[in-house]
A and B are shown apart, each in its own frame.
Chain A
Amino acid sequence: MLKNYLKITLAVMRRRKFFTFISLFGISMTLMILILLTSFYEHIFGGKYPEVYRDRTLFATMIEEADTSNGNRSTRRGPMSLSYINKYVKTLETPEKVAFSSSPNTVNTYGNGKKLKLFFKYTDPVFWEITQFEFLEGKPFNQQTIDANEAVAVINNDTRDDYFGKGVSALGKTIEINGQDLRVIGVVRGCPITRMMVSADVYMPYHLQKRDPANTQLNGEYMVMALAKSKADLPRIQAEYNDVVKRIPLPKDDFFHPQVLNAKLNPYFESMAADTFFNNTDGSTRARFYLFAAAFALLFMSLPAINLVNINISRIMERSSEIGIRKAFGASSRTLVWQFIIENVVLTIIGGIIALALSGAFIAWFNQSQMIPYADLTINWKVAIIAFVLSVVFGLMSGVFPAWRMSKLPVVDALKG
């Protein structure tokens, strides 16, 4: 019976090539876009190389001082100063480790006979403990490096290849950044720029940053990562930090009299998305984002579903004579409904397989396209499977109604076509 259903499904698909194409196109494109969107989402927000501890790390990219007196609201917003971090964040007791790094900056330099535009970061030694960079050569800098005021740098493999030449060891060689000659002590496997807390071409110990140490203001150039001992500790760290923040005296000058300091340690998504998407810093960001995302996905998937219902109605109506014949020769209404459901599910499954294949091909192409260097997009199988199951459900629903209606048609009328 099933074999026969499959046979007729394929026959109908072959006969109605255009409708088959439209249906398959709708299903596979929708699924593919969902799979790719989640893949990009994972690429940006998931814990991937080298941030393997991202799920138990809290981040602060900015703080905000606000003056709300006189009915106005003027604010000063930006990354943190070294003095702020050392005084108020490094001193926290709950985190296992606290690291900081500057926001990435670009510099032009000349190496191997060409001009290179490089992203650089200043970090502290703990940065290398919280991240899990793979060292292809050498090792990271440590506290002794800083105490000895050594001019050193860690670079990524692309920078090594571009600056010193492909396949040439960079260890002990000098790279010039911002007029400073730095001795390369380590080469790491690079990571995509979308991981902005950790991505750079050149990493330098923070003592080489001349500007910030003298800065006594709260705002500066650094972002913070606080690694918790366990995920359960995350709220405790946040609570401790909130407590500290409340007691921080706010410096006032002639022009700016802040009363409030908005400073939070947040999981990665909130710390990145809060500013970008919703401009708020409370904890509901993630919930709201997921709600939007789910609503979007549902709406997005309902389009081909409605399209499929439409196509199915006309497809099934057109086959009323077949329904009549089958009923005359002993098919019950229920059997017929099953037949059409199976047809739809088969169509959806084919669409799903096409979507997976196309997504896989796109991801493979994208990863090696160098559009984002070091891109490591992968298919999120959980989402792919959920989307796939959902589309099968849509396929089911879009088949049930027209099939049920047609199966109720009196045989005599169905036979007339």
Chain B
Amino acid sequence: MLSLSHIEKIYRTDTVETLALNNISLEVAKGEFLSIMGPSGCGKSTLLNIMGLLDEPTSGQVTIENQVIHGYSDKALSQFRNEKIGFIFQSYHLINDLPVLDNVELPLLYRRVSSKERRKLATEALEKVGLSNRMKHYPTQLSGGQKQRVAIARAIVGRPELILADEPTGNLDSAMGHEIMEILEQLNTADRTTIVMVTHDEGMAKRTHRLVRLFDGALVSSNQFYTA
């Protein structure tokens, strides 16, 4: 599904060069639920951003669904992201000016989908996360857990094969965190969606198939808990 090969990411300023990711190679199988852990600043989010094509590696190769991502135009890359990848962020990143339903529809706006179809798919996605009664609310009227569920609905509405979740439970209390985790597990098992999740929570990580640990930009260990 996803393959990273010898990924390096270097941040350069006039005076300093920081090696954020050091020679990372990683394979994520189709239908796998992978978690990434590591101390703050170790490069987890950078790695996730590179997987999600939101950032470019300084060197190395990203392959998604057997397509080597290289030399894509802005438009082609946007389209690729739109079709293949869904994102869930720690701070939800919803558009506060738009109601829940419009937020969920967002990825479909950039596809050739009729507004009726968009509405239908977004409603279905909201039903999946148990928020069909909040469609007309604005994000500011929701709790953290509800916001994250909206974010999940938005991530899955376009039926991507890969979901990248950056500390999706990081801002939530444990009960909410569990709820979110259950939804992700459900997506993974029922829809066979591949999920890569960055987390600080060992308990959450143990619920995934495999955990990889990052330290100072390098992969240091990998634990297989289950098989996808």
Contact = CB atoms under 8 A, between A and B. Distances in A.
Interface in A1-29: 1, 3-4, 7-8, 11-12, 15
Interface stretch (A294-302, A318-326, A346-354): A318-326
Contacts of B79: 330, 332
A349 B116 CA distance: 28
A412 B55 contact: yes
Interface string A292-329: 00000000000000000000000000000110111111
A12 B110 contact: no
How many interface residues does chain A have, given as a range? 20 to 34
A260 interface: no
Nearest to B52: A328
A329 B49 contact: no
Given A328-B87, A329-B106, A329-B107, A411 B115 contact: no
A11 to B, nearest CB: 4
Contact of B107 (A1, A11, A330, A332): A330
B153 to A, nearest CB: 12
A322 B154 CA distance: 14
Interface string A232-247: 0000000000000000
Contacts of A12: 97
A350 B55 CA distance: 39
B89 interface: yes
Given A335-B110, A415-B89, A322 B82 contact: no
Nearest to A8: B97
A327 B78 contact: yes
A272 B184 CA distance: 81
A11 B110 contact: no
B79 to A, nearest CB: 7
20 contacts: A11-B97, A12-B97, A15-B97, A321-B93, A322-B95, A325-B93, A326-B106, A328-B54, A328-B87, A329-B81, A329-B82, A329-B106, A330-B81, A330-B111, A330-B158, A331-B110, A332-B79, A334-B75, A335-B78, A411-B49
Given A326-B106, A332-B79, A411-B49, 13 more contacts: A8-B95, A322-B97, A329-B107, A329-B158, A330-B83, A330-B107, A330-B158, A332-B110, A334-B74, A410-B55, A412-B49, A412-B54, A415-B89
Interface of A: 1, 3-4, 7-8, 11-12, 15, 321-322, 324-335, 410-412, 415
